[in-house]
Amino acid sequence: MSAAPIVPPTRVLAVASHEGKKRSSRGNHTGYRHWTGTKATAQEISDLYRGLKDNYINDFDMMLSGYIPGAEGVLAVGEIAKELKAANEQQPGHFFWVLDPVMGDNGNLYVAADVVPAYKSLLAYADLIIPNQFEAELLSGVKITDMKSLAAAIHAFHKNHRVPHVIITSVNISSPDIPAGHLCVVGSTMTSTGQARLFKTVFPSIDCYFCGTGDMFGALVTVRMREAAAAAASVMGCASWVSGDAVAAVDLPLARATEKVLASMHEVLTHTKDAMQGVVDRTLAAMTQDERQGDKQKMLAGKKAAELQLVRNLDCLRLPQKRIEVVPF
């Protein structure tokens, strides 16, 4: 009657935090001017995990960590990852940490400066990291200006930090390989000797502001990575799901996962864009005459329309029809 599940049942611990204060900087992560709520402190993160552990419900197969605004919180999440890795030491491939080192974009940092060294200290425990170009520069120490330095940054993650899987989720450089109006995503799974196996995909960008794309990428790549690893013979029994050296870059589980994630994202972003004007119109229609004239109100209606329409596009997540293919780097 309905589609098969995309992955075998998985227990994923997802950790992210939001700040409680209104922030005036350019880089407000939520995309809204006003926001409220409470920030999970490092202590609260640790306490919540302890609560799970005390009840023996910490048998996670995977962990996905996202936005954490302070170094203490980042380190608290790192302690959880270390503990779960240690608990599964005797069973290679039984725990996998997807680390999204959310720090900034396009040259702007939107977390405290001490978050950068905190993430650096944890790279050795991550199985897959998914920085954007700016975050990759911050963590690798390599300034990315062309395809060569992009490859060097990924090499640095493999060589210096032993990060097995890397995806640079948005590459913004001038290169003959990337036509105007196109985006590039690059990934690699290291070999047993720490060499990169680079693949890339270049696709037309959707010229529009969206809110939530980073979190969507992280969530989807977590399940798709496990699905792709499960589909590859014997990979799930290997530490960090690293394929044997004979497997070429474009045949990696990471490559399959990247393709599926980008296909889903393309579909959801397209549907969200198509629905945007309707959302703006309905939001403005619900305002009073006075409110409707305000620039702030118009901006807020636009922000609301930029929220990814996930729930009404579940089929795009489960069974994307769009075909996206990675190619050798």
DSSP state of 211: B
Q: Is 24 in the site for a copy of itself (CB under 8 A)?
A: no
User: Considering beta carbons, is residue 53 or 162 the nearer one to a copy of itself?
Assistant: 53
> Looking only at residues 249 through 288 of this chain, which bind a copy of itself when binding is defined by CB under 8 A?
282-283, 286-287
Told to check if 3 binds a copy of itself by CB under 8 A, we report yes
| 36: contact with a copy of itself by CB under 8 A | yes
CB of 212 to a copy of itself, least distance (A): 13
Residues of span 287-306 touching a copy of itself by CB under 8 A: 287, 297, 300-301, 303-304
Q: Specify which residues 198 forms β-bridges with.
A: 188
Q: Which stretch binds a copy of itself (CB under 8 A): 117-125, 195-203, 247-255, 314-322?
A: 314-322
Q: Which is nearer to a copy of itself, 247 or 287 (CB)?
A: 287
Among 24, 54, 113, 180, binds a copy of itself (CB under 8 A): 54
Min dist. Cβ of residue 221 to a copy of itself (A): 18
Find the angle CA(277)-CA(281)-CA(286) to the nearest 5 degrees: 150
Closest CB 219 distance from a copy of itself, rounded Å: 13
250 contacts 199 by C-beta, under 8 angstroms: yes
What interhelical angle do 295-305 and 253-285 show, nearest 10? Answer: 140
What tokens does 140 get? 């690798």
CA–CA separation, 22 and 190 (whole Å): 41
> Is 215 one of the annotated active-site residues of the chain?
yes
Residue 21 interacting with a copy of itself (CB under 8 A)? no
Pick the binder of a copy of itself from 23, 35, 121, 322 (CB under 8 A).
35
**Angle, alpha carbons 135-137-143 (nearest 5°):** 155
Q: How far is CA 109 from CA 28, 169, 204, 234, in A?
A: 10, 17, 26, 40
Span from 106-114, 158-166, 199-207, 312-320 in contact with a copy of itself (CB under 8 A): 312-320
Can you tell me which of 27, 146, 318, 325 binds a copy of itself, judged by CB under 8 A?
318
Q: Which two tokens stand for residue 5?
A: 């599940």
For residue 147, which phi and psi values (nearest 5 degrees)?
-65, -30
DSSP 190: -
Q: Work out whether 223 is an interface residue with a copy of itself (CB under 8 A).
A: no
- Other residues' Cβ atoms within 10 Å of the Cβ of residue 237: 12
Catalytic, out of 215, 251, 274, 315: 215
Contact assessment for residue 157 and residue 166, using Cβ atoms and an 8 Å cutoff: yes
Distances (CA, A) of 41 to 47, 67, 134: 10, 13, 26
Tell whether residue 310 is a contact of a copy of itself (CB under 8 A).
Answer: no
The Cα 67–Cα 99 span in angstroms is 10
Residue 311 in contact with a copy of itself, rule: CB under 8 A: yes
Q: Could you give the CA distance from residue 324 to residue 284 in angstroms, rounded to a whole number?
A: 37
Give the nearest distance from C-beta 59 to a copy of itself in angstroms: 6
Distance CA 72, CA 20 (A): 16
The mark string for 57-76 relative to a copy of itself (x by CB under 8 A, - otherwise) is x-x-----------------
> In whole angstroms, what is the distance from residue 101 CA to residue 113 CA?
13
Least distance to a copy of itself, CB of residue 247, Å: 30
Cβ proximity to a copy of itself, 52 vs 109, nearer residue: 52
Where in the sequence numbering do the catalytic residues fall?
215
Instruction: State the residues that interact with a copy of itself by CB under 8 A.
Output: 1-3, 5, 9, 32-38, 44, 47-48, 50-51, 54-57, 59, 282-283, 286-287, 297, 300-301, 303-304, 307, 311-312, 314-315, 318-319
